[in-house]
Structure 1
Amino acid sequence: MDELSWEEWQSLCEMMNGYIKTQVLSSACDLGVFDVIERGATLASLPRQLEIDEHGCRVLLLGLKHLKLINVGETGKIENAPLTRRCLLRGSAQSMVPFVHLNDKIQHRACLHFTQALREGRNAGLDEFPGDTPTLYGRMAANPALERLFHEGMGAYTRLSPRMMAIEEFSDVSRLLDVGGGDGTNAIRLCERYPSVRVTLIDLPSVIEKARANIAARGLEERVTCEAVDMFTDPWPQGCDGVIFSHVLEIFSPEKIQFLYRKTRAYLADGGHLFVWSLMCDPDEAGGLQSVKSSLYFVTVASGQGMAYPVRDHTTWLRDAGFDVVSEYDARTIDHCALVAR
């Protein structure tokens, strides 16, 4: 048998050892390494500033230098790389630190149960979190700290998805129903970008209070109202000529998505707009990485269902529900797509 080529060996090592990158990044964010470095640090001073062992600090820096998140000068001064300054400082406008925490403490932790989930046909990663409800969202409702971590992380993730905002059809809507709107991040961004749009946000009771607080902090109470509603079982508030699902549908099975599309069609008057902003995999269902990761997370812990479905599935379901898909905004670089239907 031929020996492995260097390229094959490197590819195999990347698959086997990629989790190390996640662990180095997560530990650095837990320790606040990048914020300490930004205030001024050297190889000699960093262990004391972080209150960790010198040898452990050396190993951590080995990982951070490999990831090119820091640079060390000849004098031993440590500096953050440009990407680190932009996205990994806790106080930066585009900080992804909350999502790093979500990724580590919920998604990565739970996805260690992927094999068990496949064998048992259930979201076995849910065993990591106390409670008896069948989804992660139900268990978070009884765990305020976990729910806060989740929504802060998703808020950070959403803020770095600018393409969803550049949809011209939003200007044709006067009041938008944000279904499963979470902590209000999308509603706030939409109102700031489209001055004529008003939003009604619906979500579970434990989430709504967070949304109201965020909206009040931005002075948008007159334009965004929040109501505690179960999207499946409760009637939706009336008076909207548009509906948006943002990072909601991919959690569910095809049957539940089709139910929500039919419910939306019955809710909207003729000519009303439906906006779908979702993780979507490649047409041949061969990637990309974010769609694979999220699909594992949905199956292993979130709901035991769902995946980053390809565009064609959504298009079929929308047409079956009575919609015409009028626009497709491709964001394949981040494994997303936005669909606009009427």
Structure 2
Amino acid sequence: MDELSWEEWQSLCEMMNGYIKTQVLSTACDLGVFDAIERGATVASLSKQLEIAEHGCRVLLLGLKQLKLVSEREDGALVNAPLTRRCLLRGSAQSMVPFVHLNDKIQHRACLHFTRALREGRNAGLDEFPGDTPTLYGRMAVDPALERLFHEGMGAYTRLSPRMMAVKEFGDVSTLLDLGGGDGTNAVRLCERYPSLKVKLVDLPSVIEKARANIAAHGLADRVTCEAVDMFADPWPNGCDGVIFSHVLEIFSPDRIRFLYQKARTYLEPGGHLFVWSLMCDDDEAGGLQSVKSSLYFVTVASGEGMAYPVRNHVQWLNEAGFDTIEQYDARAIDHCALVAR
């Protein structure tokens, strides 16, 4: 048998050991390492600030330097990388720290049960979280801390998805129905970009109060209304000429997505717009990494179904529902696509 090439060995090691990157990043965010470094620190002073042993601090910094998130100057001062300053300080405008917490404490934790989920044909990772409802979202509804962690993380993730905002057809809509609108992050960003736009945000009862508080904090209570609605079982609020699903549909099975597309088609008047902003995998279903990760999460814990479906599936389902014009805005660099159907 031929020996492994250096490249093959490196590739195999990356697959086997990639979780270490996640762990190093998560621990650094838990401890507030990057904020401490930003205030000024050496290895010795950082261990004291964090109240951890200097040896453990060296091990953590070994990982952070390998990730190129932190460097050390000749005088011993630790320095955050530009990306760290932009996205990993707790108070930065583009902070992804809440999503790092979501990734570690919900997604990564649950996806350790992927093998069981496949063998048992259910979202076995849900066993990590107390409750008896069949989805993560149901269990979050009775666990305020878990739900807050989730929505803060998704809010951070959504804020760094700028390409959706560039979809020009938003300018053709006067009132947008934001289905599964979460804490209102999308509604805020859209209203800030399109000054004449109004939004009706709907989500489950446990989420709506968070959305109302977020909307009010941004001074948009006169343009964004929030209502507790089950998007499958309840009628949708009237008076909207646009509907948006943002990071919602990929959670569900094809049959449930077809149902929602048909419901949207029945709801919208002629000329109305349906917007879809979703994780989507490559057409050959061979990647990318974000679509793979999210699909594992959906199957293992979120709902037990769903995946980052390819664009062709969504186009087929939209056509079946009666939408005859579909524009595509590709964002493959981040495993996303925006679709606009009329």
Structure 2 length-normalised TM = 1.00
Question: Which residue of structure 2 aligns with residue 193 of structure 1?
Answer: 193
Q: Distance in 2 between matches of 1:325 and 1:160?
A: 28
Mapped partners of 2:325, 2:308: distance in 1: 19
Kindly report which structure 2 residues correspond to 1:296-311, keeping only aligned pairs within 5 A, or say none.
Answer: 296-311=296-311
Distance across 2 between alignment mates of 1:151 and 1:52: 30
Partner of 2:263: 263
- 2:38–2:80 contact (8 Å) kept in structure 1: yes
Q: Decide whether the 8 Å contact of 2:251 with 2:306 is kept in 1.
A: yes
Letter of the 1:120 counterpart: E
- Equivalent residues in 2 for 1:97-108 (5 A)? 97-108=97-108
> Offset of 1:327 from its aligned partner?
1.1
Counterpart of 2:149 in structure 1 is: 149
The one-letter code of the counterpart of 1:193 is: R
Question: Following the alignment from structure 1 to structure 2, what is the Cα–Cα distance between the partners of residues 115 and 107?
Answer: 15
2:272 aligned partner: 272
Query: Deviations 1:134-192 (Å, cap 9, x if unpaired)?
Result: 00000000000000000000000000000000011001100000000000000000000
CA distance in 2, matches of 1:77, 1:308: 43
Alignment of 1:222-233 (within 5 A): 222-233=222-233
Per the TM alignment, residue 43 of structure 1 is displaced from its structure 2 partner at its CA by 1.6
**SS of aligned partner of 2:164:** helix
Per the TM alignment, residue 123 of structure 1 is displaced from its structure 2 partner at its CA by 0.1
Distance (whole Å) between structure 2 residues aligned to residue 172 and residue 64 of structure 1: 46
Partners of 1:325 and 1:65 in 2: CA distance: 49
Report whether the alignment pairs 1:37 with 2:41: no
- Which amino acid in 2 is paired with 1:252? F
Instruction: Give how far 1:32 is off.
Output: 0.1
Q: Any conservation in 1 of the 2:34–2:88 contact (CA below 8 Å)?
A: yes
1:8-27 → structure 2 map (5 Å cutoff): 8-27=8-27
- Aligned-pair CA distance for 1:277: 0.2
Matches of 1:326 and 1:172, distance apart in 2: 15
Residue of structure 1 in register with 2:54 after alignment = 54
Secondary structure of the residue aligned to 2:44 is: coil
SS at match of 1:145: helix
Shift of 1:326: 3.0
**Which amino acid is the alignment partner of residue 19 of structure 2?**
Y
Asked if the contact 1:175–1:240 (Cα under 8 Å) also holds between the matched residues in 2, the reply is yes
Cα distance in 1 for residues equivalent to 2:20 and 2:85: 22
Q: Distance in 2 between matches of 1:171 and 1:54?
A: 55
Question: What do residues 86-141 of structure 1 show as CA deviations (whole Å, max 9, x unaligned)?
Answer: 00000000000000000000000000000000000000000000000000000000
**How is 1:191-270 mapped onto 2 (pairs within 5 angstroms)?**
191-270=191-270
Partner residue in 2 for 1:124: 124
Q: CA deviation at 1:85?
A: 0.2
> Whole-Å Cα distance in 2 between the matches of residues 129 and 223 of structure 1?
36
Report the alpha carbon displacement of residue 325 of structure 1 after superposing the two structures with TM. 3.4
AA aligned to 1:26 is S
TM-score, structure 1 normalization:
1.00
Matched, 1:334 2:334: yes
CA distance 1:325–1:308, change in 2 (3 Å): farther
- What does the per-residue CA deviation read over 1:271-323, in whole Å, with 9 as the maximum and x for residues that have no partner? 10000000000010000000000000000000000000000000000000000
AA paired with 2:168? E
- Give the counterpart letter for 2:195 in structure 1: P
Q: 1:70 is aligned with what amino acid?
A: V
Say what the alpha-carbon RMSD is for the aligned residues.
Answer: 0.4
Aligned to 2:294: 294
Distance 2:148 2:177 in 1: 23
Hey, what does 1:172 align to over in structure 2? Answer: 172
Separation (CA, whole Å) in 2 of partners of 1:197 and 1:317:
28
- Which residues of structure 1 form unaligned runs of 5+? none
Give the letter for the 2:104 counterpart.
D
How many residue pairs get aligned? The number is: 342
Write the letter of the residue equivalent to 2:203.
D
Counterpart AA for 1:286: A
Counterparts of 2:237 and 2:341, CA distance in 1: 20
Tell me how far apart the structure 2 counterparts of residues 326 and 55 of structure 1 sit (CA, whole Å). Answer: 57
Residue type matched to 2:93 in 1? A
Which consecutive aligned stretches of 4+ in structure 1 deviate over 3 angstroms post-superposition?
A: none
Task: For residue 44 of structure 1, report the CA deviation from its aligned partner.
Answer: 1.8
2:315 and 2:326 in contact (8 A); partners too? no
- The code of the aligned residue for 2:87 comes to C
* Aligned counterpart, 1:284: 284
Match of 1:74 in 2: 74
Q: Which residue of 2 aligns with 1:161?
A: 161
